[in-house]
Amino acid sequence: MELKQKIEAILFFKGEPLSIKRLMEILKVSKEEIGEALIDLNNDLNVRGIVLVEKGDELTLGTNPELSTLIEDLQKEELNKELSKASLETLSIILYKNSVTRAEIDYIRGVNSSFTLRMLSIRGLVEKTTDLKDNRRYIYKPTFDLLSFMGVKNVEELPEYVDINNNLNEAGVKIEEEMKEDKDTE
């Protein structure tokens, strides 16, 4: 298997930007080897529906700009659908926690929330930023558009905000304790 194929598979699997440094660590290759493979991958993708998107030192896969009208139509169709139960659960957690990791969301919901988070991001309801405590993970927050749509100026105006936030924060403490215990037993 060629290096360019491995990079493509990793970027597809991750579904989010990945740094060149992280690719080097995963694949155990030099920056030069990554650079050469990226040139080859870019050339291969020129005639496909996806492209390699580069921003600074990060890479991800995106849709070919020539297909933007098709993708825009699909996105509009998706955005006009009602939110699923999973989306509403996830959105509620993000609103009441105001900043939360995917691991916390998964723990509270009891299922993997990656797809749901992606759909909420596409709809412009949540935004993700790099966690300042651990740059390998993201923090999810409600967008200004979501707050505006809900008719609140800030999350503290949500019904029963203090009680629900306290309950969710207690769950977050339990998550951290369990994760610490897991690391200690390894």
| The domain defined by 82-185 carries CATH number 3.30.390.30 | no
Instruction: Return the C-alpha torsion angle 105, 108, 110, 116, nearest 10.
Output: -30
Segment 50-85, tens digit of pLDDT: 899 888 888 988 888 888 888 878 777 766 678 889
* Cα–Cα separations (whole angstroms), residue 17 to 113, 128, 129: 18, 12, 12
> Would you list the domain boundaries of the chain?
3-67, 82-185
**Coil, helix or strand for 18?**
strand
For residues 104 and 88, give the distance between their C-alpha atoms in angstroms, rounded to a whole number.
Answer: 16
Global confidence as pTM: 0.54
CATH class of the region 3-67? mainly alpha
pLDDT at 7 over 90: yes
Per the DSSP assignment, residues forming a β-bridge with 85 are none
Tokens of 37: 């493979």
For residues 141 and 123, give the distance between their C-alpha atoms in angstroms, rounded to a whole number.
Answer: 13
Segment 14-35, tens digit of pLDDT: 878 899 999 999 999 999 999 9
For residues 163 and 8, give the distance between their C-alpha atoms in angstroms, rounded to a whole number.
Answer: 45
pLDDT (average), residues 92-111: 89
Please tell me the predicted confidence (pLDDT) of residue 183: 62
Phi and psi of 21, rounded to 5°? -60, -45
pLDDT at 171 over 80: no
pLDDT (average), residues 81-90: 88
Domains 3-67 and 82-185 share a fold: yes
Tell me the average pLDDT of the chain.
86
Residue type, 24: M
